[in-house]
Amino acid sequence: MLMGLFDWVKGVFGGPDDAKAKEEPPSETERNAEALMSLVDERLAGGASAEAVLALVADQAFGEGMESLEREDPAAATRVWRRLMAIAPDQPRILEPLAALYRSRREDSAAVELFERLVKLTPAGEQRARVHEQIAQLHEHNGNLGGAFEHFQLALANAVERKDLWDTCLRLVGQVGAVEELPPISVVAHTPPAGYIIRHSLGRGGFGTVYLAQDEALDRLVALKFLHPLHRQRPEQVDRFFAEARIIAQLAHPGVVNVYSIDEERALLVLEFISQGTLSDRLSAGAPLHLETALDCLVRLCDTLSFVHQRGIVHGDVKPANVLFRESGRPVLGDFGIAGLGLDAVAGASRRYAAPEQLAGMPVDATADLYALGVLLLEMLTGAPPPLPEAKDEREAWLERGLTVFPAPLQETARAWWSSLLSPTPQSRPGSADLVGDVAAAFIAGLDEPSSVARVLAVLLGRE
């Protein structure tokens, strides 16, 4: 009973052991923290200004004390840095150690936020590369591979000689997917030639990023296409990139984007700017085009492809993103990046539009482009992107949706046309882009009087 009473009294008023504990001197870490805070108070007593904070940070005693405190008590060190950051919020000498502390404490979101502020204040070059690398590592640790790849690219843009960054980017390409599906690299890696001012990004192709720019000398808008930094160190990819310019230069046609010049030092093509967007933009809302509009677009694309094919060139990647529009409404073919590459074309082609022989890695000819036209027309008529080639039932249902757009008297003829366009064997497809265009034009003529053009279509399709 007495023992219980003693314990209660001790709990309320403290016993001898508690008094002894209270008399124990503070630890070295606690003394270090107190000394630092006293130093901070002393230095800032005359006024809490950014200048006073920077003078404090430059003090040797402060530096040695913080180094010890960060090692022994990161939480206390974080409180000191946060107090200083509240006074001088945009000082790299405060942001960097505080971001590093957050990272060491696994407070990744706070660390990323501070590193992203820091990178804007850091000069281009190796210093900025290190900050981007820190952000990239945090993103990768948290499973954000797209964010990691973007910042590793930016690090590489600021330190192109670092082989470890090249290796890391190549590793992430394998994990995330094709380069064209990854975040675009910042303008920091793409310095335009003198006389050009970059306005904004227009998008990405298989091998590079395209920007809208102002040509100051000629007072016109142009498109600047930069080779992706990951490809710049690969001679075969550089050759392939400039091969696109040489191909386009052979094709003086209103349905082909013009090339104005090249810059080998910057791995850059200066291209005509086509102002009215892409077919992909027009289909992005999921609404189909009117039947006559879609057929007219096909007729014009056939005219362009006929011109291209007659010069022995296969585009190899006909898809909505590569069909642009002039102010006149004329569709224009762009991105000849894999044109004429034969077996290599399969690596860059889009699977949803590629002919079976292209997917199989076999040599391709002009009929591969005609196959892609058939897929393209179906997408224009349904407003839905094509199912993957292996989804055969879905593809069949998608074809049926496209057929219902045609007047009933023309639906069977349209089915026969698509059967030839989408034939798995190149020899069974139409013999030329001209023939495909003629059939599309005949369909347009027959929209009002289907029976009047039935015989013409039958002849064109080889059914009579």
pLDDT digits (tens), the chain, 464 positions: 434 434 433 444 345 555 444 556 666 666 666 766 776 766 666 566 777 777 777 878 788 888 888 888 888 888 888 888 888 888 888 899 999 999 998 999 999 999 999 988 888 778 888 999 999 999 999 988 888 888 888 887 777 667 788 778 767 765 655 444 444 444 335 567 888 888 877 876 556 778 889 999 999 999 998 887 667 767 877 888 888 788 888 888 999 999 999 888 888 899 999 989 899 999 987 789 999 999 999 999 999 999 999 988 899 889 998 999 999 999 999 887 655 544 344 444 478 899 999 888 888 899 999 999 999 999 999 998 888 888 889 989 999 999 999 988 888 888 989 889 999 999 999 989 999 999 999 899 888 777 666 666 666 666 44
* Predicted pLDDT at 32: 67
Q: Which of residues 120, 149, 177 is at a domain's end?
A: 177
Phi, psi of 455 (to 5 degrees): -70, -40
Tokens read off for 120: 């804007």
Please enumerate, as own/partner, the contacts of 15-20 that have beta carbons within 8 Å and a separation of 24 or more: none
Same domain flag for 245 and 267: yes
Which of 65, 68, 119 is CA-nearest to residue 96? 119
* Predicted pLDDT at 331: 97
CA–CA dist 224, 212 (Å, integer)? 6
Going 300 to 306 to 308 to 309, the CA torsion angle's sign is positive
Q: Which of residues 215, 250, 272 is at a domain's end?
A: 272
* Predicted pLDDT at 464: 41
Pairing type for strands 268-272 and 220-227 reads: antiparallel
Distances (CA, A) of 362 to 311, 339, 341, 352, 435: 21, 15, 11, 17, 24
Same domain flag for 63 and 205: no
Residue 7 lies in a domain: no
Same domain flag for 300 and 264: no
**Residue 421's domain is classified under what CATH number?**
1.10.510.10
Whether residue 314 contacts residue 363, with contact meaning beta carbons closer than 8 Å, is answered with no
Same domain flag for 137 and 248: no
Element of type H or E holding 419: helix 408-421
Residue 387 lies in a domain: yes
Tokens read off for 265: 């030092």
Question: Looking at the whole model, is its pTM more than 0.75?
Answer: no
Same domain flag for 211 and 90: no
Same domain flag for 411 and 340: yes
Same domain flag for 49 and 139: yes
* Predicted pLDDT at 338: 58
